[in-house]
A = this chain, B = another copy of it.
Amino acid sequence: MLTSVLHAEIYEQPEAIRRMLDAETDRVAELARALAARDCRYAIIAARGTSDNAARYAQYLMGASLGLPVALATPSLHTRYGARLRFDGALAIGISQSGTSPDICAVIEDARRSGAPTVAITNNLDSNLARAAEFVIPLHAGPERSVAATKTYTTQLAALALLTLSIAGDTTGLAGLAAVPEAMAATLALDARMQEIAGAMADAVAAVTIGRGYHYATAWEIALKLKELTYVPTEPYSAADFQHGPIALVRDDFPITLVATQGAVADDLTTLATRLHELGAHLTAISDVPAILDVADRPAALPVSVEERFAPMTAIVAGQLLAFHLARARGFDPDNPRSIRKVTETR
């Protein structure tokens, strides 16, 4: 295999999360104590692209663990419509690898001006976002040289999990989180299998990814990697939304990637997988649920099962490898995607 920066960074992820957890666990415990004194009734997260998918993960994790509704910010309200949003009762979080996108900074600046607690999650301590926020959680991912984000995504998920579990005082959960890097490392064993699946998908003209609950984020992030690296138009869905209309797309051989691991929605997704199979879809399943792997045309069996709330950090590794190999199978260079740059500044 030719060397690839992207491929190397996919493999760096377990170590990056370990580094972040080692450096930040005590600091985030302090941050959690500081937040306890503030009136946080809901969270609002500003993010774009990959970081917005990390925000989708937080919607489920913070909702289930803290009972906290999570809103995804609409930055153009701040930068284009001059809206003066009230932030009383909000915990405002900005997520950005580079920390430079002006619209994300604008949301956090407005929130801080209103007195709401603000947290920046970024790989760049020397950034406008880090300066704008009252609190910062650095990702410790090291420089990310690929245009397509991988290790900054999974460290963002881990940072959000660390923050949420620390606020919840969930020491069992924190112990589970500490074991995630090992499970991610084991998941890298799917590399050859994802290459086989990519070979079978090389001619796709469009695709869909589906997840539910915690893996809604995983479905979005796999779809984004496929678009960035393979140029296959791929739309992500929640299993429920997909049935409200878009299921009409499915015809013979339509490629669908389903992400479903053991937990609260496994039964729903088993039912959906069976229906999609009957409709003639070509189903790739990234899963540790035997009934789903059985019905899939292209099963990718996750070698290690983790708690459902942590599975987005393992399952995405399989998705990243799929995007990497599909780019190559289609004759593209995964290290040099067209038309995009590492840092996109939108206003």
Q: Does A247 contact B (CB under 8 A)?
A: yes
CB neighbours (8 Å) of A48 from chain B are 240-241, 244
Chain-B contact segment, one of A12-20, A121-129, A182-190, A226-234:
A226-234
Q: Does A331 contact B (CB under 8 A)?
A: no
Chain-B contact segment, one of A57-65, A160-168, A169-177:
A57-65
CB neighbours (8 Å) of A81 from chain B are 60, 63-64, 213, 264
Shortest A330–chain B CB gap in Å is: 12
Q: Does A103 contact B (CB under 8 A)?
A: yes
Q: Do B59 and A340 touch (CB < 8 A)? A: no
CB neighbours (8 Å) of A265 from chain B are 76, 80
Q: Does A4 contact B (CB under 8 A)?
A: no
Residues of A29-55 at the interface with B, using a CB-CB cut-off of 8 Å, are 41-42, 44, 48-50, 52
A206 to B86, CA, bound (A): 40
Over the window 65-104 of chain A, the binary record of Cβ atoms lying under 8 Å from chain B Cβ atoms (1 yes, 0 no) is: 0011111111111001111111111100000000000010
A320 to B197, CA, bound (A): 37
Q: Does A208 contact B (CB under 8 A)?
A: yes
Question: Which residue, A80, A238, A340, has most C-beta atoms of chain B within 10 A?
Answer: A80
CB neighbours (8 Å) of A212 from chain B are 76, 80
CB neighbours (8 Å) of A42 from chain B are 42, 44, 71, 86, 89-90
Of the residues B52, B76, B249, contact of A227 by C-beta under 8 Å: B249
Over the window 224-263 of chain A, the binary record of Cβ atoms lying under 8 Å from chain B Cβ atoms (1 yes, 0 no) is: 1001110101110010110111111111000000000000
A75 to B41, CA, bound (A): 18
CB neighbours (8 Å) of A201 from chain B are none
Interface residues of A (CB under 8 A from B): 41-42, 44, 48-50, 52, 59-60, 63-64, 67-77, 80-90, 103, 148, 205-208, 212-213, 216, 224, 227-229, 231, 233-235, 238, 240-241, 243-251, 264-265, 268, 279, 337-340, 344, 346-347
Instruction: Please list the 4 inter-chain residue pairs (A to B) with the smallest Cβ-Cβ separation, ordered nearest first.
Output: A49-B244, A71-B71, A206-B233, A240-B346
